[in-house]
Amino acid sequence: MAQEFRLPDIGEGLTEAEIVRWLVEEGERVEADQPVVEVETDKAVVEIPSPYAGIVLKHGGAAGDVIEVGSVLLVVGEAGEVEPDNLDTTSELVIESIPSSFAVGERHEPSAVSGDAAPIVGTLSEEAEVLAPREDSRTTDAGDQVLALPVVRKLARDNGIELAGVKGTGPGGRITRDDVQAAIDSGEQLSSGEPADTTEETEIPASAPRTPSAGSEREKLSRLRRTIAANMSKSWAEIPHVTTFEDADATRLLETRSALAHRYGRKIPLEALVVKAVLPALDEFPEFNATLDGEDLVMHATRDIGIAVDTPDGLLVAVIRDAAGKGVLQLAEEISALGEGARARSLSVDQLTGQTFTVSNIGAVGGGHGTPIVPYGTTAILSVGRATERAVVYDGDLGIAPIMPLSLSYDHRVVDGAQGRRFIALVIENLEEPALFLAS
């Protein structure tokens, strides 16, 4: 008997995924737990294994298609069977669990994957389970209940669209995002109590985008850039930012880094030392390692440090779990591995989410001071610039020293300016004398 496998929620509130490529074609045989498709989410490019063994009778979409959680991903059966004519994607579902062999980070031939599929940390989407409509859900003229995913209902609600008046074009009459968008564009489906504004514009608003000139090109933002835009917009809109700028004498830090590299015969990423210098400050000022949750400040027990990684596809933030429990060499090894995984786009969802504090080494690309944006769900981020030789005065004597620019952005709802100064002063003290944090 043919069996349907529906796109599961592989974590972090996934609502949809884009099919990158099929690893098993229609008509070919697949074994249980064998990777069958590669999809792109807002977190990573992942392989999804089939829970069934048999012949792949039907794919739920082609490469490049975006399908929602709970939609049929593929149909598996036996040779000679015919896939169902109408795949029921709207009935109450029990989404298949992911086989135990599923490894989010595993993938084949990274170079074969589309270049626009390297998402960053964070998700802004609604829960994507297919739920039975609430008791007060409107019905269509035929008396059927309105069928729409929560993310579609939210889009309609935010734009004053009455779903009962929207014709669903999805399987089983389900209302899709495109259906709601069409209703928004038409301006004819506003819900009661929210009449359309029929006032004609007599002039173009100042904020209207410029009409493209001849020869202009239009390119759709990649999934990565769309995710970056959404996350940055949310952080900037909801977090009142304050940025403190300071400089640190990096003489001892760079000497320590060189000595460690010489002793152990390996490169020591600067981030490994910066993380170690930051950890005592997070212990002293726990509000910098926290999440503002409504009227509560949740100060995290662990120090899960995010490391910003510049990749060919855009910015990724890889996460070091429990950084406080690791030595410099362990941090160096993990940071190097995370950087390689980020550039190969092979990191798991767990490695790309959940940081409690972030370090961004913009000095690696020649940066100095900056105004880093606090990742949503955290309260602070430290940006480290490139150390350059400058004239400095010590005890009245003029000298030359490598000076490292530091930029600390924090959530002003949680941290006052004086506390921000105290935090970065302790970080500077540690950076300028590494023995202080290496002994801890």
- Write the pLDDT tens digit of every residue in 42-62: 667 788 899 999 999 999 999
**Residue for token digits 């400040």?**
297
Residue 301 neighbours by CB under 8 Å, 6+ apart: none
Task: Count CB-CB contacts under 10 A for residue 46.
Answer: 25
pLDDT tens for 186-227 read 765 444 444 444 444 444 455 556 777 888 888 887 777 788
3-state secondary structure 268-286: CCHHHHHHHHHHHHHHHCH
- pLDDT of 10 reads 72
Residues 54 and 29 sit within 8 Å (Cβ to Cβ): yes
Fold (CATH) for 3-112 = OB fold (Dihydrolipoamide Acetyltransferase, E2P) (2.40.50)
- pLDDT of 192 reads 42
User: Has residue 91 got a pLDDT over 70?
Assistant: no
- pLDDT of 406 reads 97
Distance CA 17, CA 43 (A): 10
- pLDDT of 224 reads 73
Distance CA 402, CA 249 (A): 6
**Between 277 and 168, whose confidence is greater?**
277
What does R_g of the chain's alpha carbons equal in angstroms? Answer: 26
Residues 129 and 9 sit within 8 Å (Cβ to Cβ): yes
- Rounded to 5°, angle at Cα 29 from 23 and 34: 55
pLDDT tens for 123-137 read 333 332 333 333 333
Banded pLDDT at 85 (limits 50, 70, 90): low
**Between 177 and 424, whose confidence is greater?**
424
Say what the pTM is. Answer: 0.61
**Between 132 and 382, whose confidence is greater?**
382
User: Has residue 327 got a pLDDT over 90?
Assistant: yes
pLDDT tens for 5-14 read 998 877 656 7
For residue 383, report the phi and psi dihedrals to the nearest 5 degrees.
-105, 135
Catalytic residue check, 412: yes
User: Has residue 370 got a pLDDT over 60?
Assistant: yes
Residue type, 77: G
- pLDDT of 160 reads 82
Q: What is the DSSP string of 101-124?
A: T--TT--S-GGGS-TT----S---
Strand arrangement of the beta sheet that strand 72-77 belongs to: 3-6, 72-77, 54-59, 29-30
Residues 381 and 305 sit within 8 Å (Cβ to Cβ): no
**Between 297 and 440, whose confidence is greater?**
297
User: Has residue 66 got a pLDDT over 70?
Assistant: yes
Of 6-10, 105-109, 143-147, 204-208, the one with minimum mean pLDDT is: 105-109
**Between 427 and 121, whose confidence is greater?**
427
- pLDDT of 215 reads 83
Q: Which residues pair with 318 in a beta bridge?
A: 307
- pLDDT of 114 reads 35
Distance CA 312, CA 114 (A): 12
Interval 269-282 mean pLDDT: 96
- pLDDT of 350 reads 86
- pLDDT of 151 reads 62
**Quick one: DSSP state of residue 192?**
T
Distance CA 19, CA 167 (A): 26
**Between 119 and 18, whose confidence is greater?**
18
- pLDDT of 111 reads 35
Residues 38 and 106 sit within 8 Å (Cβ to Cβ): no
User: Has residue 371 got a pLDDT over 50?
Assistant: yes
Kindly provide the residue ranges of all beta strands, DSSP E only, lying in 23-85, ordered along the sequence.
Answer: 29-30, 35-40, 45-49, 54-59, 66-68, 72-77
- Rounded to 5°, angle at Cα 250 from 249 and 252: 110
Could you state, in order of their start, the residue ranges of all structural domains in the chain?
Answer: 3-112, 239-438
Distance CA 42, CA 45 (A): 9
Interval 334-338 mean pLDDT: 94
Distance CA 297, CA 118 (A): 31
Closest CA to 358 of 389, 383, 385, 386: 383
Residues 272 and 332 sit within 8 Å (Cβ to Cβ): yes
Banded pLDDT at 169 (limits 50, 70, 90): confident
Percent of the chain scoring above 90 in pLDDT:
46
Banded pLDDT at 119 (limits 50, 70, 90): very low
**Between 273 and 156, whose confidence is greater?**
273
- pLDDT of 435 reads 93
- pLDDT of 84 reads 59
Interval 240-256 mean pLDDT: 96
CATH 3.30.559.10 fits 239-438, yes or no: yes
Residues 414 and 297 sit within 8 Å (Cβ to Cβ): yes
Banded pLDDT at 144 (limits 50, 70, 90): very low
Closest CA to 425 of 417, 327, 394: 417
pLDDT tens for 285-320 read 999 999 999 999 999 999 999 999 988 777 889 999
Closest CA to 122 of 238, 220, 7, 206: 238
- pLDDT of 157 reads 80
What mean pLDDT is reported for the chain?
79
Distance CA 372, CA 375 (A): 9
pLDDT tens for 183-196 read 887 765 444 444 44
Question: Looking at 241, 300, 369, 412, which residue is catalytic?
Answer: 412
In the three-class reduction of DSSP (H, G, I as helix; E, B as strand; rest coil), residue 93 is classed as coil
User: Has residue 117 got a pLDDT over 60?
Assistant: no
